[in-house]
Amino acid sequence: MSNILELQHVSKKFDNDLVLDDLCLEVKENTFMTLLGPSGCGKTTTLRIIGGFTTPDQGCVLFEGKDITNLPPNKRQLNTVFQKYALFPHMTVGENIAFGLKISGKSDEYIRDKIKYALKLVNMDDYANRDVTMLSGGQQQRIAIARAIVNEPKVLLLDEPLGALDLKLRQDMQYELIRLKNELGITFIYVTHDQEEALTMSDTVVVMNQGYIQQMGTPENIYNEPENAFVATFIGDSNILGGIMLRDKLVRILGTDFPCVDTGFGVNKPVDVVIRPEDVILGEAGKGQMDGVVSHLIFKGVHYEMEVQAGGFEWLVQSTSMFPVGQPVSLSVDPFNIQIMNKPESEDEEAVVVDV
């Protein structure tokens, strides 16, 4: 699969604030890529540079191998859907969808066919003559997408388009976006700070912080194999502990030796250890790898969330089994569920890692 888009050594400052620092990114054709990170990490600036709304101070943007860094947005083979849908309130749904086509000088027959096609794609076939101000937030979002796709972009950029929707509607629209991407066969680049959205919809997740790409990979890889503490804490909940890698496949955590599957970290080397809360197995005291006491309990609907004091550390545990506060328990972890990471080598790296 070839690259449809590349950012090469892109940097951007606003005043004296460095927002993007030598960013390099490759986007494969016909993928759903999500730029994920906290506010101020540079993800929206990256999207605006791709869309042509912001010009980088350094570096270039390549589209199908051609430099489009200084090309205006209307000359690029891509369209953008913003969180604020920017629909024209004085126009009907059909007129909103047709706006870009009319500017391009398309024929009336062509425009009618495209409106019908776009409305069918977003499951709003009978809405062409509706007043957009009378639509719900979810319906307006669909019209904004329909308006973008009638122009047949090769890349669709989406800047937190579901942020204003309620939880149920947001979840429904996540599935709609996946369906649209598969039916249209185009590349989606999606910006969000919502980890669940990123993991649900994406082929590729790009985790960003402080203008850097922290990690890039499949949702499964990002969640199960975080490369640093920032990724581990930003993508879901984690227990992050200091440990000593005694040798290959054996790590000491809080004075207890745990078998693992990691190799190549050396002998007696300090490391960071990530254990997801759902991977901690609670059982009868004295029958696991470490003993502790349940100190807190919350029912979350699909599971219980507990805090367990063990080895001088407060473990976060998620389980479908309930252990009441004050009950002695044992903790065990499967070797495959222990993720070993190198400790930060510099204060700068550490600052990037821990600033959540």
Q: Which amino acid is at 197?
A: E
Nearest CA to 210 out of 345, 353, 48 is that of 353
Highest mean pLDDT among 38-52, 92-106, 342-356: 38-52
354: pLDDT confidence band, cut at 50, 70 and 90?
very low
Residue 355, pLDDT score: 30
The pLDDT tens digits for 198-226 are 998 999 999 999 899 999 999 999 998 89
Burial (Cβ within 10 Å: 0-12, 13-18, ≥19) of residue 207: buried
Angstrom distance (rounded) from CA 179 to CA 102: 27
Q: How many residues does the chain have?
A: 356
Query: Residue 353 pLDDT more than 70?
Result: no
The pLDDT tens digits for 281-297 are 999 999 999 999 999 99
Residue 118, pLDDT score: 85
Q: What is the CATH number of domain 3-224?
A: 3.40.50.300
Residue 287, pLDDT score: 95
Mean pLDDT of 321-330: 96
Quote the pTM value: 0.82
Mean pLDDT of 322-346: 91
Shared fold status for 3-224 and 232-354: no
Query: Residue 307 pLDDT more than 60?
Result: yes
Residue 250, pLDDT score: 97
Q: Which two tokens mark 149? A: 């796709």
Spatial contact of 242 and 249, defined as CB atoms under 8 Å apart: no
121: pLDDT confidence band, cut at 50, 70 and 90?
confident
DSSP conformational letter for 164: T
Angstrom distance (rounded) from CA 137 to CA 196: 20
Angstrom distance (rounded) from CA 138 to CA 69: 33
Mean pLDDT of 45-66: 95
Query: Residue 349 pLDDT more than 50?
Result: no
Residue 345, pLDDT score: 63
Spatial contact of 193 and 161, defined as CB atoms under 8 Å apart: no
Residue 126, pLDDT score: 86
What angle, 0 to 180 degrees and rounded to 10, lies between the N-to-C axes of helices 137-149 and 167-184? 20
Residue 351, pLDDT score: 34
The owner of tokens 């369906």 is 179
The pLDDT tens digits for 125-180 are 888 889 888 888 778 888 888 888 888 889 999 988 777 677 777 787 788 888 88
Angstrom distance (rounded) from CA 291 to CA 285: 6
Query: Residue 60 pLDDT more than 70?
Result: yes
Q: Where are the domains of the chain?
A: 3-224, 232-354
Distance set, CA 179 to CA 89, 172, 185, 252, 348 (Å) = 28, 11, 10, 46, 41
The pLDDT tens digits for 240-296 are 999 999 999 999 999 999 999 999 999 999 999 999 999 999 999 999 999 999 999
Mean pLDDT of 297-303: 93
For the chain, how far is it from start to end, CA to CA, in angstroms? Answer: 34
Residue 306: count other Cβ atoms within 10 Å of its Cβ.
25
**CATH architecture assignment, domain 232-354:** Beta Barrel (2.40)
Q: What value, to the nearest 5°, has the Cα angle with vertex 204 and ends 199 and 207?
A: 75
